[in-house]
């Protein structure tokens, strides 16, 4: 695994642990706790908002803005996964399973 991959994995794992630790925290002092208190539907809505902001930054070609919005998107995705008790490791395992597969072939293999 390249060093950048190891670093990215470590950062995301630390962030995942921090998010999990803030479950049931004080919504007045923690953005994570505030979102968690409002429930999975609000977390999903926030993730959607961040996705739209990421797309807008990409379309505008603003690299700095895209970097920040992509970070927000990953952060809120981790909050949503935590709300559903879905470990990041499960998502990474699914990506690993798909590695080397054609996107077209992978989609065709899904049961509808």
**CB neighbourhood size of 19 (10 A):** 23
Q: Can you give the pLDDT at residue 16? A: 97
Per residue in 68-95, pLDDT (tens digit) is 999 999 999 999 999 999 999 999 999 9
Structure tokens at 92: 């990474």
**CB neighbourhood size of 20 (10 A):** 16
Q: Can you give the pLDDT at residue 9? A: 74
CATH of domain 3-109: 1.10.287.1080
Rounded to an integer, what distance in angstroms lies between the CA atom of residue 70 and that of residue 103?
22
Q: Higher pLDDT residue, 6 or 34?
A: 34
Rounded to an integer, what distance in angstroms lies between the CA atom of residue 86 and that of residue 16?
11
| Cα four-point dihedral sign 66, 4, 79, 101 | positive
pTM: 0.84
Q: Can you give the pLDDT at residue 104? A: 78
Per residue in 30-58, pLDDT (tens digit) is 999 999 999 999 999 999 999 999 999 99
The domain spans of the chain are: 3-109
């Amino acid at each position: 695994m390249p060093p950048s991959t190891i670093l990215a994995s470590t950062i995301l794992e630390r962030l995942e642990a921090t998010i999990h630790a803030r479950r049931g925290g004080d919504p007045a002092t923690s953005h994570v706790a505030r979102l968690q208190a409002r429930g999975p539907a609000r977390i999903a809505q926030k993730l959607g908002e961040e996705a739209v902001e990421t797309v807008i930054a990409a379309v505008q070609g603003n690299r700095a803005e895209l970097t920040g919005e992509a970070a927000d998107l990953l952060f809120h995705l981790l909050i949503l996964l935590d709300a559903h008790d879905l470990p990041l490791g499960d998502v990474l395992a699914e990506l690993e399973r798909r590695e080397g597969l054609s996107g077209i072939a992978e989609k065709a293999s899904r049961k509808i």
